[in-house]
Structure 1
């Protein structure tokens, strides 16, 4: 397995830290890594309204060029110490597939790696962000038939993201496939969603996609599990799905955090 962190954010993330991209690079080198991929939140389609209060879920369109250029400068500067790639974490937003495809087509030749993730769910005529806060998660539950219904909708949306036609530059890695469990200790599901999770792994295997093994969940108060947890990681490994380590760092000191807690 490649020794690297392939899910990393930057100061261009409006809900992250002000740590420079170079600080992330230096921390990766300090930890003996060979690879680092910046996967900043791609800007949303211009017609999509961010549902979180501060409208800070994704990078601003105005910052994209600086983000890419800063990453490329670091790639050259540290080419003898670390293999750096500059990419995106792209939101799959149901109903905005065409707009997302245009974004991917526009940046595709310049982006070296990317992740497709589900943070936003469509509930009726509105969109919600499921991982914003435990309070917001509780409010979202009032829009559905409860926690089991929300879990089912989440897994259905992840499956749709895998099956969606997003053009030639669609990401080949699917992000934190159990993110809906971020607040599981406060809002526990009463049903078992093993079937839905297994279906997602089967789709990844069938389409030869990669799985983001995301250690950030270990450090969430109401979760304390990787995304996905170890039993799903084991199943993915048995299927031969490529497992790609990601810390989901939003600050340099979190590079590689928790990788030692995952059994490979």
Structure 2
């Protein structure tokens, strides 16, 4: 039986990064201008917040960075607000060891959107956290050696806890963990965990993100069509995000989302 095709507003790109996160290119203004050129009505910057992570490079903003981020965002709203609605949000990476710190930092600012993710996992084999979304060979090797199944168990468990503990408004990266690991599959236990996670998302009144960065990585957006059906079955609203790390990626492939949603919910 078909599910109703859900609505998604492709005039808004709700997941954009900038040079502030240390692994994207371009100033905030470059992304604003790209969105205007592409005819978008709204964007939301969703810059990275992490706490207590040990990793060989910083892929997140400090509080000083966030001060500059908000200062520049305010300037851009004043200059371009009549042409584009500009949101200032955060993609907060959950760390169960630092939940209170994250809550304190989130409470200290007004966010237009709070995206929930889980990028870094503490593993017993190494001093540094494992970057679960990395394409780097070191991270892929470590994940393979530790065991993908147990890592995914931890991933979904921590995402559920993050949804319950943090004041999130949108779930990011439902199925992006170990996305560069060849031959990755989900067990029935993982699917059960996902359903429990989605129930928590629904209870909190959150949305779920359809992230078009997956098209370049695996030929379809994140999350996959089977998981999207589960999201729709839970009656969770959808929002579109490009996960742009370059200005030219703003709104990428949004014109394909309507067709993807229609085919995903069909039997």
TM range (shorter): 0.7 to 0.9
Greater relative CO (CA pairs within 8 A, separation 6+): 2
Match in the other structure for 2:4 = none
Match in the other structure for 2:130 = 128
What root-mean-square deviation, in Å, do the aligned CA atoms of Structure 1 and Structure 2 show? 1.9
Aligned partners of 1:118, 1:28: CA distance in 2, in Å? 27
Q: How many residues align?
A: 247
Match in the other structure for 2:86 = 84
Aligned residues of 1:50 and 1:57 also touching (Cα < 8 A): no
Aligned partners of 1:111, 1:190: CA distance in 2, in Å? 34
Aligned partners of 2:15, 2:141: CA distance in 1, in Å? 27
| Runs of 5+ unmatched residues, structure 2 | 1-7, 262-267
Match in the other structure for 1:163 = 164
**TM-score when scaled to structure 1?**
0.86
Match in the other structure for 1:16 = 24
Q: Which structure has the highest helix share of the two?
A: 2
Match in the other structure for 2:237 = 242
Matches within 5 A, 1:48-197: 48-51=52-55, 53=56, 55-107=57-109, 110-124=110-124, 127-135=129-137, 136-142=139-145, 144=146, 146-164=147-165, 166=166, 170-184=167-181, 186-189=182-185, 191-192=187-188, 193-197=190-194
1:211 matched to 2:208: yes
Q: Secondary structure at the match of 2:19?
A: coil
In the TM superposition, what is the alpha-carbon distance from 1:195 to its structure 2 partner?
Answer: 2.0
Aligned partners of 2:93, 2:202: CA distance in 1, in Å? 21
In the TM superposition, what is the alpha-carbon distance from 1:14 to its structure 2 partner?
Answer: 0.4
Match in the other structure for 1:28 = 35
Aligned partners of 2:99, 2:54: CA distance in 1, in Å? 16
Match in the other structure for 1:230 = 225
Q: Secondary structure at the match of 2:158?
A: helix
**TM-score when scaled to structure 2?**
0.85
In the TM superposition, what is the alpha-carbon distance from 1:62 to its structure 2 partner?
Answer: 2.5
Aligned partners of 2:230, 2:21: CA distance in 1, in Å? 32
Aligned partners of 1:231, 1:49: CA distance in 2, in Å? 32
Aligned partners of 1:190, 1:93: CA distance in 2, in Å? 23
| Runs of 5+ unmatched residues, structure 1 | none
Aligned partners of 2:80, 2:130: CA distance in 1, in Å? 39
Aligned residues of 2:53 and 2:120 also touching (Cα < 8 A): no
In the TM superposition, what is the alpha-carbon distance from 1:189 to its structure 2 partner?
Answer: 3.0
